[in-house]
Amino acid sequence: MKNRDRLLVTLAAAALFAPWVVHADEKKADIDRTPVDCIITRNIDKTDIIDDQTILFYMKGKNKPIYRNYLPSKCPNLESSDRFGYAVTSSRLCKVDLIQALPRVGIPIPCRIGEFTPISAEEVEELHAVHDKGRRGGDKIDVKPVEPPKEDAAAAPKGSDEGK
């Protein structure tokens, strides 16, 4: 009988805590990471160019995903231009479409875009941090200017210029 009682207590405890365990797993996997081929252009709130190969698409509305689009190849002058344009025949921007980096001077450069992968706000911060660190020069030494110590007139050595 003791074994049966232990088994019942164990099963009751498992049933009691099961919803918490499932809920914890849902929090970890709250973003569907499945890439999509297209996004609806009217749902784009803003874009953010990370570098010559990465663009973030922020969608409108609450709890809307942020999509990272990693271009199949680097798009020259995309980051330095900090702007791009596109033309679509439908109301969707798809991975087969072209964007154009719009440099302030020069000719627009067409580039193919890739899949749209949902990412979290934390991943956006991490992308910016890694990019900003690379821009500063990575793990190089930070140099800060300092002022030399002020000389004390009484402590200064007497030179041979005195008496001349």
pTM of the full structure: 0.64
State residue 27's pLDDT score. Answer: 43
Q: Which helix (DSSP H) or strand (DSSP E) does residue 48 occupy?
A: strand 44-51
Tens digits of residue pLDDT in 41-74:
999 999 999 999 999 999 998 788 999 999 999 9
Are 125 and 69 a contacting pair, CB within 8 Å? no
With 0-12 / 13-18 / 19 or more C-beta atoms within 10 angstroms meaning exposed / middle / buried, residue 132 is exposed
Say how many CA atoms lie within 13 Å of 19 toward its Cβ: 2
Task: Give me the pLDDT at residue 136, please.
Answer: 54
Which neighbouring-strand residues pair with 54?
51, 70
Q: Cβ(56)–Cβ(124) under 8 Å?
A: yes
What percent of the chain has a predicted confidence (pLDDT) above 70?
Answer: 68
Where helices occur in the chain by DSSP H, the ranges are 2-28, 78-81, 121-136
Residue 24, pLDDT score: 39
